[in-house]
């Protein structure tokens, strides 16, 4: 769920959400909507709309005569892309990146193996196009351009798996990859070995070689974990 383009309550969320996920308001803290409305200089209706969004993420719960209470971290919707983005922007970044990269390590290799069995001709073409795009932007410190192709590549893998649960993780993986780039947890240029592995995965999926696609993708995710050891220990 993104808050971009949501006007006043979006502005409130971009301040209040990161503050909650960073621990500025510990679990059990009670927030008064009237006080928050005054602080952010918005109407109570705008503040209530912002609170509803936070409730949908399970960051807070609102009770009459009590106020808005920050929920325990164990209850947060940690798969919400906006929650991921807020946590990656805070001091919890190293833990969050590692947790999400471990998740990728468990899911993406299996998804790649399934993609080799189920991908359509169109999806194979998209995967090849994304891999070639990664190659063409992998030099010259073009990380933002590279990111576009990298995110698209992994979305295609998850979609092509044919597993709807895997496919729904596309936004999660996109936030992980974006977080690595936007918070300087990347080298100036992508690892050439990782770029080559993506090209090989695309070929394995196109050729229907499930074991090879799974093995190569496991190498990609293992490399991502190794990068964290160096750049975000």
Q: What is the CATH number of the domain that holds 127?
A: 1.20.120.530
Domain membership flag for residue 44: yes
Q: Mark out the alpha helices in 30-183 (DSSP H runs).
A: 33-40, 44-56, 81-88, 93-118, 121-136, 143-160, 164-167, 170-182
Last residue of some domain: 33, 49, 75?
75
Last residue of some domain: 15, 40, 75?
75
pLDDT category of residue 233 using cuts at 50, 70 and 90: low
More confident residue, 199 or 224: 199
One domain for residues 131 and 199: yes
Domain membership flag for residue 1: no
The single residue listed with the structure tokens 């927030």 is 31
Distance CA 60, CA 143 (A): 36
What does the pLDDT read at residue 227?
80
- Say yes or no to pLDDT of 3 above 50: no
| β-strand partners of 62 | 68
pLDDT digits (tens, 9 = 90+) for 140-179: 889 999 999 999 999 999 999 999 999 999 999 999 899 8
**Percentage, residues of the chain above pLDDT 90:** 64
Whether the Cβ atoms of residue 172 and residue 81 lie closer than 8 Å to each other: yes
One domain for residues 49 and 97: no
Domain membership flag for residue 181: yes
One domain for residues 131 and 172: yes
State whether residue 31 is helix, strand or coil: strand
Query: For residue 11, what are the domain limits?
Result: 7-75
One domain for residues 17 and 125: no
pLDDT category of residue 6 using cuts at 50, 70 and 90: low
Domain membership flag for residue 86: no
One domain for residues 224 and 179: yes
Whether the Cβ atoms of residue 115 and residue 157 lie closer than 8 Å to each other: yes
Domain membership flag for residue 82: no
More confident residue, 90 or 74: 74
The mean per-residue pLDDT over the stretch 199-214 comes to 98
One domain for residues 109 and 67: no
User: Of 220, 228, 231, which is closest to residue 134 (Cα–Cα)?
Assistant: 220
One domain for residues 186 and 114: yes
The mean per-residue pLDDT over the stretch 63-80 comes to 90
pTM of the model: 0.85
Sheet of strand 30-31: strand arrangement: 30-31, 67-70, 60-63
State whether residue 182 is helix, strand or coil: helix
One domain for residues 57 and 132: no
SS3 per residue for 72-87: CHHHCCCCCHHHHHHH
Q: Which domain CATH number covers 36?
A: 1.10.10.10
Q: Give the chain's domain count.
A: 2
Residue/partner pairs of 144-147 with CB below 8 Å, 24 or more apart: 144/181, 146/190, 147/177, 147/178, 147/181
Burial class (CB in 10 A: 0-12, 13-18, 19+), 130: buried
Burial class (CB in 10 A: 0-12, 13-18, 19+), 21: buried
Q: CB 48: neighbour CB atoms within 10 A?
A: 15
What does the pLDDT read at residue 231?
60
pLDDT digits (tens, 9 = 90+) for 76-124: 999 999 999 999 888 888 888 889 999 999 999 999 999 999 999 999 9
Distance CA 110, CA 66 (A): 46
One domain for residues 131 and 42: no
What does the pLDDT read at residue 26?
93
One domain for residues 69 and 98: no
One domain for residues 127 and 221: yes
Domain membership flag for residue 146: yes
What does the pLDDT read at residue 232?
58
Domain membership flag for residue 167: yes
One domain for residues 96 and 20: no
| Average pLDDT, rounded, for the chain | 90
What does the pLDDT read at residue 83?
93
- Say yes or no to pLDDT of 186 above 80: no
Domain membership flag for residue 81: no
The mean per-residue pLDDT over the stretch 53-64 comes to 92
Q: Cα separations (Å) of 81 from 37, 140, 170, 225?
A: 25, 29, 10, 20
């Amino acid at each position: 769920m993104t808050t971009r383009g949501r006007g006043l309550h979006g502005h409130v969320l971009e301040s209040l959400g990161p503050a909650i996920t960073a621990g500025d308001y510990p679990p059990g803290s009670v927030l008064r909507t009237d006080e928050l409305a005054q602080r952010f200089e918005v109407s109570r209706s705008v503040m209530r709309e912002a609170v509803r969004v936070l409730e949908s993420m399970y960051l807070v719960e609102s009770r009459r005569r009590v106020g808005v209470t920050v929920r325990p971290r164990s209850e947060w919707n940690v798969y919400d892309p906006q929650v991921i983005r807020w946590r990656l922007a805070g001091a919890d970044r190293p833990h969050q990146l590692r947790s999400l990269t471990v998740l990728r390590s468990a899911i993406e290799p299996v998804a790649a193996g399934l993609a080799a069995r189920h991908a359509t001709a169109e999806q194979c073409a998209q995967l090849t196009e994304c891999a070639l795009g990664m190659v063409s932007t992998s030099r010259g410190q073009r990380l933002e351009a590279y990111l576009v192709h990298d995110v698209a590549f992994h979305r295609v893998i998850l979609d092509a798996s044919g597993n709807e649960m895997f496919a729904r993780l596309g936004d999660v993986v996109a936030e992980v990859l974006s977080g690595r780039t936007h918070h300087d947890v990347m080298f100036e240029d992508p690892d050439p070995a990782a770029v080559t592995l993506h090209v090989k995965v695309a070929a394995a999926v196109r050729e229907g070689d499930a074991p090879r696609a799974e093995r190569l993708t496991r190498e990609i995710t293992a490399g991502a974990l190794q990068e964290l050891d160096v750049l975000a220990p």
